[in-house]
């Protein structure tokens, strides 16, 4: 079990937990993730390690409440223990001195982007970060990104802060101004990653996309997280989560992500009804 040391709400339905996990903290590298099971018998949640301190023995995860499992996780409080925590899993980000790096994150995808930004900056790269959200109240980690990069460009769908539009519009503007990059990293909703990587790949920039396929065991046994990259089947948990964006079959991945949506909706409705019944009993 792992104890929750700190619970912090970053924006609507987005939480940051600091977890007691000394062995994971010592071994984790940028780009890796953990499997979290909030309560015994509940589903397993793959979540990127957003930050860690090897000396103090903690890791941080950032998640958005979007389904049954994350609803259970969000109900836990400081001092509570998580039933299962396994990691670090996945291949770490390959970090070297590339030169100029463009790191793009959308929504809660900004969280897994953060350790990669830190690692690239620490390796001596010139890092530009683009972060986006639907509205300014949903933006996360802006200050942390600013400390660990040369510049941060913000985009909001509604124009409430920064660029009015999607992060893809910011990337288009950067290329239109003649800016050149040696590496791009993109993390966020699959549709956003598809649109952004189309721009970066077309500009001749080596592009890594951190994928979020449906994942069950996180060790390569179930095959649920399979994706097609350059015509070959890969597993997001053991071969990824990062892949060459130029070779990803985006349409296949997007279709697979929607496979269990009706079941997820039913689970959320049952969970909501249970909470409402408990609340009515208390009142």
pLDDT digit string, tens, across residues 157-187: 999 999 999 999 999 999 999 999 999 999 9
CATH number at residue 118: 3.40.50.80
Return d(Cα 33, Cα 61) in angstroms, integer: 9
Whether 264 is covered by a domain: the verdict is no
What mean pLDDT comes out for the span 20-24?
Answer: 94
Among candidate residues 271, 283, 275, the one with its CA nearest the CA of residue 43? 271
pLDDT at 260 over 80: no
Return d(Cα 153, Cα 24) in angstroms, integer: 32
pLDDT at 283 over 60: no
| Strand (E) or helix (H) holding 161 | none
> Domain check: are 231 and 139 in the same one?
yes
Whether 266 is covered by a domain: the verdict is no
> Domain check: are 85 and 155 in the same one?
no
What mean pLDDT comes out for the span 236-260?
Answer: 87
pLDDT of residue 202: 94
Phi-psi category of residue 158: left, alpha or beta, with phi > 0 → left and psi -120 to 50 → alpha: alpha
Whether 94 is covered by a domain: the verdict is no
Whether 267 is covered by a domain: the verdict is no
What mean pLDDT comes out for the span 84-108?
Answer: 93
pLDDT digit string, tens, across residues 190-218: 999 999 999 999 999 999 999 888 877 77
Q: Which residues contact 216 (CB under 8 A, 6 or more apart)?
A: 44, 222, 224, 225
> What confidence category does residue 118 fall into, taking pLDDT thresholds of 50, 70 and 90?
very high
Tokens matching residue 218: 């996180």
89, 121, 155 - which closes a domain: 89
Return d(Cα 175, Cα 178) in angstroms, integer: 5
Residue 145 structural domain:
100-257
pLDDT digit string, tens, across residues 33-84: 999 988 887 788 889 999 999 999 999 999 988 877 888 888 999 999 998 8
Most confident of 69-73, 83-87, 121-125: 121-125
> Domain check: are 125 and 249 in the same one?
yes
Q: Which residues contact 10 (CB under 8 A, 6 or more apart)?
A: 16, 62, 140, 141
> Domain check: are 21 and 49 in the same one?
yes
* Peptide bond before residue 88 is cis, with ω within 30 degrees of 0: yes
> What confidence category does residue 281 fall into, taking pLDDT thresholds of 50, 70 and 90?
low
CA distances from 28 to 34, 106, 150, 283 (A): 9, 23, 25, 45
Return d(Cα 116, Cα 189) in angstroms, integer: 17
pLDDT at 270 over 90: no
Tokens matching residue 111: 């969280």
Domain count, the chain: 2
Whether 278 is covered by a domain: the verdict is no
Whether 51 is covered by a domain: the verdict is yes
35, 65, 89 - which closes a domain: 89
Whether 273 is covered by a domain: the verdict is no
CATH number at residue 37: 2.40.30.10
pLDDT of residue 65: 87
Query: Phi and psi of 142, rounded to 5°?
Result: -65, -45
């Amino acid at each position: 079990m792992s104890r929750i040391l700190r619970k912090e709400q970053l924006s609507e339905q987005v939480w940051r937990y600091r977890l007691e996990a000394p062995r994971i903290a010592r071994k984790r590298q940028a780009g890796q993730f953990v499997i979290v099971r909030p309560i015994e018998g509940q589903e397993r949640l793959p979540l990127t390690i957003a930050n860690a301190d090897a000396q103090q023995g903690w890791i941080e995860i950032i998640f958005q409440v979007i389904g049954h499992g994350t609803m259970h996780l969000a109900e836990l409080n400081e001092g509570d223990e998580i039933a299962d925590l396994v990691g670090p899993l996945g291949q770490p980000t390959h970090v070297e001195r590339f030169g100029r790096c463009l790191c793009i994150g959308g929504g809660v995808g900004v969280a897994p982007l953060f350790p990669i930004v830190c690692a690239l900056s620490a390796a001596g790269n010139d890092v530009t970060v683009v972060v986006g959200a639907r509205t300014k109240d949903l933006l996360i980690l802006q200050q942390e990104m600013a400390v660990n990069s040369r510049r941060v460009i913000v985009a909001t769908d509604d124009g409430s802060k920064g660029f009015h539009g999607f992060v893809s519009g910011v990337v288009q503007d950067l290329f239109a101004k003649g800016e050149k990059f040696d590496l791009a990293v993109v993390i966020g909703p699959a549709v956003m990653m598809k649109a952004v990587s189309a721009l970066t790949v077309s500009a001749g920039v080596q592009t890594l996309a951190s994928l979020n396929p449906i994942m069950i065991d996180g060790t390569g046994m179930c095959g649920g997280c399979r994706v097609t990259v350059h015509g070959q089947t890969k597993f997001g948990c053991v071969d990824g989560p990062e892949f060459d964006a130029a070779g990803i079959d985006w349409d296949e991945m997007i279709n697979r992500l929607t496979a269990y949506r009706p079941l997820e909706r039913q689970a959320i409705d049952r969970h909501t009804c249970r909470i409402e019944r408990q609340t009515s009993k208390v009142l």
